[in-house]
Amino acid sequence: MQGENRGKLGLLLGLVGVICFSLTLPFTSIAVAYFGATVVGLGRTVIAAIVVAVVFILKKQQLPTLRQFKSLLIVAIGVVFAFPLLTSWAMDSLPVSHGAVELALLPLATAGFAMFRAGEKPSLKFWISSLIGSLAVIGYAIYLGLGQLQFADFALLAAVIILGLSYAEGGLLAKELGSWQVIAWAIMMGAPFFIVPVVLNFSTDMLHAPLQAWFSFIYLAIVSQFLAYVAWYSGMAIGGIARVSQIQYLQPFLMILFATVFLDETITWFTFMIAVIVVIAVLVGKNAPVSKRGERLDN
């Protein structure tokens, strides 16, 4: 029973993280229009580092080991550099719905890397549900006419692959280092390298950006870049990387929902139909057995 409760807690924390992440693209789209891709993509880490530094001082946090630093480097490359910068650049030219359907491939990338990095072995049931969810979002993308890839599309696909590896690595490292410590150290590792490009790309005109733009930027820095990852990595550490990653199938549709609120984008009946299919796939996938390599699956 205790293991079942831990599994539910892991899924709940993962859901909280996904909801927070679902606001990332809409707020990125708003912020980029006023601050530019570099300031938004890298500047959010610089601001998050200030918050993390205060937390480290209050908690008197000890340094990770050399081996942990190597894993943190993988996390930092994906979480605080590649994904924020690539998505900020892509959102400068693509609508949120476009980016949302492509980011829906992230669960497969995460689960695939989990098999190699964390030694997890999802069952056939897990992969079938993943395939159904993926085909649903791909069909949705084709329906919206997203078949022709632009350079921004390649940026998003690269972000998915790199972030999938970072998620898997971070979920594994969170078990020994702690969930919030993983993203916190990744932020501290990346921030010093981002200060110069952010300063060079910042202009005094940006100070006159509207309140909505500043709110979006602050949200990206504090919630998307830090607090959401605390919940996300905690969920993966408790509930299992591959299983909790299934919840990410909800993310594109939550993004589209939030886009209607903040960006006045519309939702069609077809969007709701695909959302139902994806939710069913998530519910099936989260109950699929997952084992470590060498262990026997019961079903």
Over the stretch 141-163, which tens digit does the pLDDT of each residue have? Answer: 677 665 655 777 788 888 988 98
Cβ neighbors of 211 (< 8 A, separation 6 or more) are: none
Largest CA distance in the chain: 62
Distance CA 15, CA 203 (A): 37
Confidence of residue 1 (pLDDT cuts 50, 70, 90): very low
Query: So what's the pLDDT on residue 7?
Result: 78
Residue 297: inside a domain: no
Distance CA 69, CA 13 (A): 25
Query: So what's the pLDDT on residue 213?
Result: 96
- 9-34 average pLDDT score: 93
- Which of these ranges, 75-79, 90-94, 137-141, 227-231, has the smallest mean pLDDT? 137-141
Residue 244: inside a domain: yes
Residue 61: inside a domain: yes
Confidence of residue 212 (pLDDT cuts 50, 70, 90): very high
- 253-260 average pLDDT score: 87
Distance CA 55, CA 184 (A): 9
Domains of the chain: total: 1
Residue 126: inside a domain: yes
Query: So what's the pLDDT on residue 175?
Result: 78
The 3 state secondary structure assigned to the chain is: CHHHHHHHHHHHHHHHHHHHHHCHHHHHHHHHHHHCHHHHHHHHHHHHHHHHHHHHHHHCCCCCCHHHHHHHHHHHHHHHHHHHHHHHHHCCCCCHHHHHHHHCCHHHHHHHHHHHHCCEEECHHHHHHHHHHHHHHHHHHHHCCCCCCCHHHHHHHHHHHHHHHHHHHHHHHHHHHCHHHHHHHHHHHHHHHHHHHHHHHCCHHHHHCCHHHHHHHHHHHHHHHHHHHHHHHHHHHHHCHHHHHHHHHHHHHHHHHHHHHHCCCCCCHHHHHHHHHHHHHHHHHHCCCEEECCCCCCC
- Which of these ranges, 113-122, 162-171, 253-262, has the smallest mean pLDDT? 113-122
Query: So what's the pLDDT on residue 41?
Result: 94
Confidence of residue 224 (pLDDT cuts 50, 70, 90): very high
Confidence of residue 46 (pLDDT cuts 50, 70, 90): very high
Residue 63: inside a domain: yes
Residue 79: inside a domain: yes
Residue 274: inside a domain: yes
Distance CA 233, CA 236 (A): 5
Please give the residue range of the domain that contains residue 76.
Answer: 2-292
Distance CA 260, CA 263 (A): 6
Cross-strand pairs, 122 = 290
Please give the structure tokens belonging to residue 12. Answer: 């709940």
Residue 14: inside a domain: yes
Q: How far, in Å, are 121, 124, 286, 292 from residue 297 at the CA level?
A: 9, 10, 15, 9
pLDDT at 294 over 60: no
Length of the chain in terms of residues written:
299
